[in-house]
Amino acid sequence: MNNRQDVHDQVMECPEAMRRDALCSLAAAQDSAGQRALAAAIEAFSQTPAPDWSGLMHHAANYPARAVWVQPFPGNMAQLWRPQGEDAEAQALLQAARKWVEAHAIRLCHCVVMPNKPAQAALLSAAGMQRVAPIRYLSAALKHHNARASHVILRPWCELAPLAAQSLIEQVQLDSLDSPLISEALGAAELLQGFYRQSPQADRHWFAVYSSPHDLQPIGALLMVLRQAQGVMEVQLMGLVPTCRRQGLGRELLQAAFNYSAQPGVTRLVLTVDATNTPARCLYENAGFHPYHSEDIYAWVHARAG
């Protein structure tokens, strides 16, 4: 165990007979919220057609063995569920996961770290991950928001042809200050695929944004999802094309989001923002949003060709 090469050589794909123990090891590495998220991820992954568990690897030197899991998603994406500890064995597991990610041509494999966990962040950095976004979760109570008409028009997303929808997302992403490294890795099609992964009816609350009822070309996008059980409308993506920014239209678009969210049973509008995106953060804070959670996203990122 003192030989570094020996430590790495003992990482292998987890056999089915040890899968339960490996997943329990992963659960032990998470906080209570992470354990709930992992349980949901395991259940969802197990129900997919022919789930490929090759991204679940364990260290065979000890029992119970520690494990790491690369949970693959459609669209060349994945989530890393980190192993317990911050020692050489944990680093060996992460290096094996990195090789798996590279072998499967995954462009973005991310891991969530709480801001007050510097040892975990250091472990991921040593494995080649970079912090791609310090994410802040914001919430605004609808009852405290002053209702008024918005000066932008929302039209159902389904009115856009698939290529037009993809093109609009590409324009909204262009030069965005939100998580630029993620935008480099993921194209519009992959981003949309990720949203659809959350629900087959994900676009039920999606809209193309227009500056007037007579415009033929959209100027932005507003993609939301209703979390009925929590009484929440969540913004997944909100943005304008570059030529329409810095004209006050962002405030109008946010007002449109508030107006649409004022539905029976919905009490809050929530969203996430990259903490380094100062203009967006100020816009949300001035509109009455307050932070309720923070996390840092670390990732192995492979930019798109071309």
Q: How confident is the model at residue 147 (pLDDT cuts 50, 70, 90)?
A: confident
SS (H, E, C) 256-298: HHHHHHCCCCCCEEEEEEECCCHHHHHHHHHCCCEEEEEEEEE
Q: What is the pLDDT of residue 73?
A: 86
Looking at residues 158-171, what average pLDDT do you find? 92
Q: Which residue has the higher pLDDT, 128 or 7?
A: 128
Q: What is the pLDDT of residue 193?
A: 73
250-to-14, 189, 228, 240, 269 alpha-carbon distances in Å: 48, 24, 26, 7, 16
Q: Say yes or no to pLDDT of 68 above 70.
A: yes
Mean pLDDT estimate for the chain: 88
Looking at residues 276-289, what average pLDDT do you find? 93
Q: How confident is the model at residue 9 (pLDDT cuts 50, 70, 90)?
A: low
Looking at residues 292-300, what average pLDDT do you find? 94
Looking at residues 194-221, what average pLDDT do you find? 85
Q: What is the pLDDT of residue 77?
A: 87
H/E element, 120:
helix 118-126
Q: What is the pLDDT of residue 198?
A: 65
Looking at residues 111-115, what average pLDDT do you find? 91
Q: Say yes or no to pLDDT of 33 above 50.
A: yes
Q: How confident is the model at residue 4 (pLDDT cuts 50, 70, 90)?
A: very low
Q: Which residue has the higher pLDDT, 139 or 215?
A: 139
Q: Could you give phi then psi for residue 273, rounded to 5 degrees?
A: -145, 145
Q: Could you give phi then psi for residue 232, rounded to 5 degrees?
A: -130, 140
Q: Say yes or no to pLDDT of 1 above 50.
A: no
Q: What is the pLDDT of residue 49?
A: 87
Q: How confident is the model at residue 10 (pLDDT cuts 50, 70, 90)?
A: confident
Peptide bond into 134 cis (omega under 30): no
Contact 181, 198 (CB under 8 A): no
Using a cut of 0.85, tell me whether the model's pTM lies above it. Answer: no
Domains of the chain: 4-128 (3.40.630.30), 139-301 (3.40.630.30)
Looking at residues 138-163, what average pLDDT do you find? 92
Q: How confident is the model at residue 178 (pLDDT cuts 50, 70, 90)?
A: confident
Looking at residues 205-212, what average pLDDT do you find? 95
Q: What is the pLDDT of residue 175?
A: 83
Percent of the chain with pLDDT over 70: 89
Percent of the chain with pLDDT over 90: 66
Q: Which residue has the higher pLDDT, 175 or 26?
A: 26
